Amino acid sequence: MKTIATRFVLLTTALLLLTSAAGAQGTDFSKIEIKPTRITNNFYTLEGSGGMIGVLTGPDGVLMVDAQFAQLSDKIAAAVKTLSNGGQIKYLVNTHVHGDHTGGNENFGKMGVTIFARDELRNRLIKPNPNANGTPASSAPAAALPVVTYSGKLVFHLNGDDVELIPIAVAHTDGDTLVRFPRNDILMTGDYFRSAGYPNIDRANGGSLKGMIEGLNVAINLCGPNTKVIPGHGATVDKSGLVAHRDMIMAVRDKVAQLVRQGKTLEEVVAAKPTSDFDSKIPGIGTTGDRFIGQLYAELKTSN
Ligand SMILES: [Zn+2]
């Protein structure tokens, strides 16, 4: 027979599990509205819940970048229809595998949208990492899987633009794509650049610090004076926003590297606050600072 103390521990554990599940899936999607922002004559962003969506409209059909969560697909499709005078989404590009960018894939796939992504992303949808509690995660359904995959640059010629899908080898994940709209002078980076919070190097999904810096340099070199840089999360910026972000990553990296060389533990590195020079300049930090320090520590520790 269980003691009261044991029952209490079990109850607390159950509550904790419930709380963390609610944290991951606690969004009430019925309350989320899709907010469009006009960037150019025929390009819009859509904000709802999750990663930023890009929509290129025109007579050749709609190309959409990223899909947010499955619960929002109908609202997203309705918003696109309004923006494009009744147009249909023809193509969907996934910038990376995370659920707040690919969650709508299955719904859009069933609507007849052709999904494009890197081979690595498709493989991760088929064989996802185990769940946080160690249980195996299930494969994405067939309709959610990209139909066209690529390992080099791919170009869509439509709606007066020449949209380039540019693979960024291993940055936020190992399946990142930078989407460039040269005529509209727009870059969409997915999450390997974010203007809200600190970077997220998802090492479990193949991301790397070195690749993230290289990817930022690719984007910086593609920027002209008026290029609009649309991140996976956060406000649209210009070239200077990308440069400041890259320089911040390198500055924090150098501080963490020095502490790693001194043999500090992760706890000691976090306590040394290596991001303190930047904390007041970065909006929406939340817990991303400590996460970023942990990721830098893990990468620099193994490369030492
Ligand atoms: Zn992401």
Provide the whole-model pTM: 0.90
Residue 129 CA to ligand 1 centre (angstroms) = 14
Q: What is the pLDDT of residue 232?
A: 98
Residue 96 CA to ligand 1 centre (angstroms) = 7
Residue 95 CA to ligand 1 centre (angstroms) = 9
Residue 190 CA to ligand 1 centre (angstroms) = 7
Residue 85 CA to ligand 1 centre (angstroms) = 31
Binned at pLDDT 50, 70 and 90, residue 304 comes out as: low
The radius of gyration of the chain from alpha carbons, rounded to an integer in Å, stands at 20
- pLDDT greater at residue 224 or residue 24: 224
Binned at pLDDT 50, 70 and 90, residue 303 comes out as: confident
Residue 12 CA to ligand 1 centre (angstroms) = 31
Residue 237 CA to ligand 1 centre (angstroms) = 18
Strands 186-188 vs 228-230: parallel, antiparallel or unpaired: parallel
E-assigned strand segments in 119-174: 148-150, 154-158, 161-168
Q: What is the pLDDT of residue 16?
A: 36
Q: What is the pLDDT of residue 15?
A: 38
Residue 68 CA to ligand 1 centre (angstroms) = 11
pLDDT digits (tens, 9 = 90+) for 258-268: 999 999 999 99
Class of the CATH-defined domain 28-246: alpha beta
As given in the structure block, the two tokens for residue 135 are 């249980």
pLDDT digits (tens, 9 = 90+) for 122-173: 999 999 999 889 999 999 999 999 999 999 999 999 999 999 999 999 999 9
CB neighbour class for 291 (10 Å; exposed up to 12, middle 13-18, buried from 19):
middle
